[in-house]
Amino acid sequence: MQKATLFVAVCATLLPSLALAEQPIQEGLWEYTTQMHMPGLPAQAMTQRICLQRQDIEAGPVPKDPQCQIKNYKLSGQTATWQIECQGPDKMSGEGRITFKGNNAYEGESRMRIQPRGAAPMEMQQRFSARRIGNCK
């Protein structure tokens, strides 16, 4: 179960970057804040700073996972939506939404449903935001 929770946390942190490859954002130093809520666990918040360079944006930073498929990805105006489905021992499905605030910020949320092998199903909600805070040093 810990493996599933870790995978979900990492995956959910990276999912917002799915939309970045198609949205014109600026390179530079970005601050990402993620708030994760799972029933029965204390809420967790994480803030990190990442230097995004042009090649990072063009590469599409979502890692390829042969067990997971992004479905129904849509970018309409300033809002991107998607669904994800993962197979394997810990099945997972969910959906997310990001709204861009120009090319210097965005915010969004995702919901994930996890079915760990041999354990009760879990649900996770996540809210996230990002903003460009300057140039990389």
Closest CA to 105 of 43, 31, 46: 31
pLDDT in tens, 21-31: 555 678 999 99
Residue 74: which domain range? 2-134
User: What per-residue string of b and e applies to 60-79 under the rule 16 or more CB within 10 Å gives b?
Assistant: eebeeeeebeeeeeebeeee
pLDDT score at 53: 86
pLDDT score at 4: 43
Instruction: Identify the helix (H) or strand (E) that includes residue 7.
Output: helix 2-14
Please tell me the total count of domains within the chain: 1
Whether the CB-CB separation of 1 and 116 falls below 8 Å is answered with yes
The CA distance from 71 to 99, in Å, is 18
pLDDT score at 9: 46
Cα radius of gyration rounded to whole Å, the chain: 15
pLDDT score at 45: 93
Write down the pTM of the prediction. Answer: 0.72
Instruction: Identify the helix (H) or strand (E) that includes residue 95.
Output: strand 91-100
Write out residues in the chain with pLDDT < 70, as ranges.
Answer: 1-24, 58-64
Whether the CB-CB separation of 109 and 127 falls below 8 Å is answered with yes
